[in-house]
Structure 1
Amino acid sequence: MNANPPLPQFGRVALRGGLVTAGAQGFKMVIQFLSVIILARLLLPEDFGLVASVGPIVAFVGLLQNLGLQQALVQRKDISDRQLNQVFWISALVGLGSAVVVAALAPAIAGFYGDQRMLGITVASALPLLLGSIAAVPLALMNRHLQFGQLAFNDVITAAAGLVAAAIAAWAGMGYWSLVLGPAVAAVVALGAAWLVVRWTPSRPDFRVESEILSFGANLTGFNLVNFFSRNLDNILIGKYSGAIELGYYDRAYKLLLFPLQNITQPLTRVMVPLLSRIHEDKVRFRDLYVRTNWMLAAVTMPGIAALTLTSEQVVALLFGPRWTAVAPIFAWLGIASLMQSVSSTTGWIFICQGKTKAMFQWGAYSSLTTVA
């Protein structure tokens, strides 16, 4: 596969990519929506709380699994096969290290929460980190080649596989293990689908990466780390001082709120980052496209969030059932705070597409410190 294909007509690519991604994302949203409802009815609040207690720690280590190099491959104007091979082996090595670190932390995590069930949960949660690292380069190549339809299709089958695996396990009485099995199956399917599409194979191991690429990825990873800390400290504190049941309520409210936001902003990011990267030198065009995209996001997301917030009790009762009524007030307060979330989440595009991840890291450190305080 040619690492530096010519770019087709910009407007046609943006429109086609947006329509294909939006259509496929609709199917993915239905799958995820069913996942939230089905698993809430098959499992107990404590099951979600146990996995949610471990989740932030595993996800934090997971931020290191490719050192931001996947986005560097998408953003760069030109990339060679040698550089692709270097990034692949570095990503694989870091992914393996991340999985080992998570497994080694399992006893400490179980001791911190005072629950030995988290020992097995933590160890099992390490596998997707390694699989995700191995899939980083083929996924980046698909994004770089503007294969939005294939990426969206892969997302759909990955989400479906995860839901089916988790639902079957929950129905079979596996409890919280079903919430661990689902992501593991999804990671295996995502890895297999990515490598089937991309006609690129790595050569012998090479762990030397150019300083420019490494600097881009390191600063992006630094931003992700500080941003993650500010967004997940709440889960750790609730799990520690209030318990798994209360965290289960909070986790369901948070996931229900993020569900529509993530399913709009994440696929849009996949389309916009490679396209904006191609025109970042044309500041007027770049600014105009960015501003128009944010107006569209605000028009789509804000009315929906407001409506869900005002009807939180009815929404929770309809989706989760009567035993989850404690979720409603949490959901309402989070809804008020998230009205600007969809728009503010796109600010990273400006830094990434222009290669200014150092400024992004500095801005993220300041923002995270003020949020935590």
Structure 2
Amino acid sequence: MSLRRGAAHGAAWNFATAVGERSIGFAVLAILVRHITLADVGLIAIASALSEIGRMITTGGSGEQVVASPGDRTVEAGAFWAQFILAAAIAGLLFVAAPVLARAYGAPALSWVTRVLSVNIILGTFLVVPSARLVQNFGFRALSLMSLGSTILGGTVALALVFSGRGLDALIAQRIVGITFYAAAASITARWYPPAFPSLAAIGRALRFNIPMMGAAFVDYVAATGYVVLIGIRMPVAAVGEFRIAQRLAEVLRELTVFPASKVFLPVFVAVRDDPDRRFAVARSLVDVLAIGSLAAAAVAGAVAKPVVVLMFGVRWASSAPVFAALSLIVPAAAVYAFVNPMLTALRRPVLVSVFAAINAASTALAAWFAAPEGLLILAWTLAARGLLTAILLLPALSIGIGRPAWPLLRLFTAPFIALIAARVAAAALVPVLVQQSGLGIVAMFSQLAVGGIIAASVFLGTLALLAPRRIGTLLGQLTSAFRRVPVVAEPVG
């Protein structure tokens, strides 16, 4: 399979899985939150973020190291045991610190919840290496099916528990069951089992590669989700639950528009890292896809935020809608940042990965810390503004990755961003005029969802067609040719 077809098929499987997985996941979540208090949602959000920070630190870099060293079993052994030792240490530390954290957040139940979820840190070590083996061979179909299976199994267990009156236990079990299934399935599919303990030199080499990447994984998670541990200190736990619903919707928006393609970036850039001209051409094509796709999704999501939240989670969560509308604007920055890690990793520049990841996370943490006391809406708009600023600050990283100035890549976002603004303004002005029903009833919400979505999508595509007519045709041609056996030479991006 050619590089183009491998990347396209991988992205397609990632997208299909993201749609299926998130559809099932949100169907389960929509049921769960109707039977769980705001405080419990906030409690799980904080405890999950704490355990995920630990898991991201310990697994960061291991998968990338294995992908970048195809077939090297010594690297695999060093990567696994290095992360396992660190995972056991961090899980133990979190277990001991749980009561202190519970007092800091003013939530006694946080202690035992954090201790239970710390198990995920160790479970995650059995997932990274087999997944990396599959990524090396563009085995995204298998990974996609396993990810979907983990979501279904975790959701089934959670629903069984919540209908038996154990709401908090349901949220906890959903996470543990899901990652356990994924790790077991990936290991079996990749025919991997924990290797014998390698030499200390192999572990040392793994740590030297992984430590900068661990730092990057930590700050990446803080920037994407983990900053919830900061706002939990600055506002009540129930408010964290309300924010978490909007944050989760924004995360899914990124997962559907950015992550399906970004998961194939590392093997793609590894394949072209020694050819600067080809690396730039690949980066330009990928940026064009993400710029149009991510901003179109943000335009529509912001326009229909209210009916989406109310229809999915109920009237009780309606106040999360404007928060989600603001957070959806973070997607463009996520699309830019999606290139930094894989491009620099492919060039074997892990220290630079950590530096630019730290910039992204530090700006997010500062924005969250200072804006949280001002209320959820101020917090959301502050985070959105921070995302746009950080996209500009990441230009040096993109320049290093493509080996030339990155402005030509960033300019690809200009026309779609103008189209996004036009779509959001048009929907805000026309929906109240065209939809006569008021209130939060089902009929009114479905009407706003349909009308708002159609207006936002139509205005976005119309504006983009006026500003950059060739880009839509070029994009469709590139996507079509990627799934055909006959290669097509891509036209220059206008």
Q: TM-score, normalised by structure 2?
A: 0.69
Taking the aligned partners of 2:237 and 2:180, their CA distance within structure 1 comes to 29
Trace 1:90-129 onto structure 2 (pairs within 5 A).
Answer: 90-129=82-121
2:243 alignment partner in structure 1: 250
8 Å CA contact retained: 1:49, 1:248: yes
213, 236, 239: which one pairs with 1:220?
213
Residue identity matched to 1:119: S
SS state at 1:327 partner:
helix
Change (3 A) 1:283 1:247: same
| Matched-pair identity in % | 20
SS state at 2:33 partner:
helix
Change (3 A) 1:29 1:10: same
1:158 alignment partner in structure 2: 150
Residue identity matched to 1:36: L
2:181 alignment partner in structure 1: 189
Indicate the larger mover: 67-76 or 23-32.
23-32
8 Å CA contact retained: 1:66, 1:90: no
The C-alpha deviation readout for 1:208-264, integer Å capped at 9, x for no partner, is 326654333211112222344455574234322321111111000010111121234
1:4 alignment partner in structure 2: none
Confirm whether residue 28 of structure 1 aligns to residue 15 of structure 2. Answer: no
Displacement of 1:30 after TM fit?
1.7
Taking the aligned partners of 1:36 and 1:298, their CA distance within structure 2 comes to 29
308, 332, 353: which one pairs with 2:346?
353
Taking the aligned partners of 1:175 and 1:310, their CA distance within structure 2 comes to 32
2:68 alignment partner in structure 1: 75
2:446 alignment partner in structure 1: none
Change (3 A) 1:63 1:24: closer
8 Å CA contact retained: 2:62, 2:80: no
Taking the aligned partners of 1:237 and 1:372, their CA distance within structure 2 comes to 7
Taking the aligned partners of 1:343 and 1:171, their CA distance within structure 2 comes to 42
The C-alpha deviation readout for 1:15-64, integer Å capped at 9, x for no partner, is 33233333333322321231332222232222111111222222222222
8 Å CA contact retained: 2:262, 2:338: no
323, 328, 339: which one pairs with 1:335?
328
Trace 1:50-65 onto structure 2 (pairs within 5 A).
Answer: 50-65=43-58
8 Å CA contact retained: 2:130, 2:187: yes
Displacement of 1:339 after TM fit?
4.0
101, 115, 126: which one pairs with 1:134?
126
318, 321, 328: which one pairs with 2:311?
318
Q: Which one has more relative contact order, counting CA pairs under 8 Å at least 6 apart?
A: 1
Displacement of 1:290 after TM fit?
1.6
Bigger radius of gyration among the two: 2
Indicate the larger mover: 242-251 or 223-232.
223-232
Indicate the larger mover: 336-345 or 215-224.
336-345
Taking the aligned partners of 2:299 and 2:267, their CA distance within structure 1 comes to 31
How many aligned positions are there? Answer: 365
8 Å CA contact retained: 1:94, 1:133: no
Residue identity matched to 2:21: K
Taking the aligned partners of 1:16 and 1:260, their CA distance within structure 2 comes to 21
Taking the aligned partners of 2:9 and 2:220, their CA distance within structure 1 comes to 32
Residue identity matched to 1:54: A
Indicate the larger mover: 222-231 or 320-329.
222-231
184, 190, 196: which one pairs with 1:198?
190
Taking the aligned partners of 1:147 and 1:318, their CA distance within structure 2 comes to 36
Taking the aligned partners of 2:262 and 2:277, their CA distance within structure 1 comes to 20
SS state at 2:273 partner:
coil
Change (3 A) 1:366 1:201: closer
The C-alpha deviation readout for 1:155-207, integer Å capped at 9, x for no partner, is 11011111111222112111222111101001110121012112233443124
Displacement of 1:72 after TM fit?
0.8
Taking the aligned partners of 2:340 and 2:155, their CA distance within structure 1 comes to 31
Residue identity matched to 2:152: A
SS state at 1:184 partner:
helix
Where does structure 1 differ by over 4 angstroms across 4 or more consecutive aligned residues?
Answer: 210-213, 230-234
Change (3 A) 1:367 1:30: closer
RMSD (Å), alpha carbons: 2.2
Taking the aligned partners of 2:194 and 2:226, their CA distance within structure 1 comes to 38
Confirm whether residue 84 of structure 1 aligns to residue 65 of structure 2. Answer: no
Taking the aligned partners of 2:261 and 2:226, their CA distance within structure 1 comes to 27
Taking the aligned partners of 2:329 and 2:262, their CA distance within structure 1 comes to 24
SS state at 1:178 partner:
helix
123, 133, 137: which one pairs with 1:145?
137
2:165 alignment partner in structure 1: 173
1:302 alignment partner in structure 2: 295
Change (3 A) 1:196 1:49: same
Q: Structure 1: 5+ residue runs without aligned partners?
A: 1-7
8 Å CA contact retained: 1:91, 1:136: no
Q: TM-score, normalised by structure 1?
A: 0.90
Displacement of 1:135 after TM fit?
2.0
194, 202, 212: which one pairs with 1:209?
202
Change (3 A) 1:92 1:108: same
8 Å CA contact retained: 1:91, 1:134: no
8 Å CA contact retained: 2:242, 2:320: yes
Taking the aligned partners of 1:336 and 1:17, their CA distance within structure 2 comes to 26
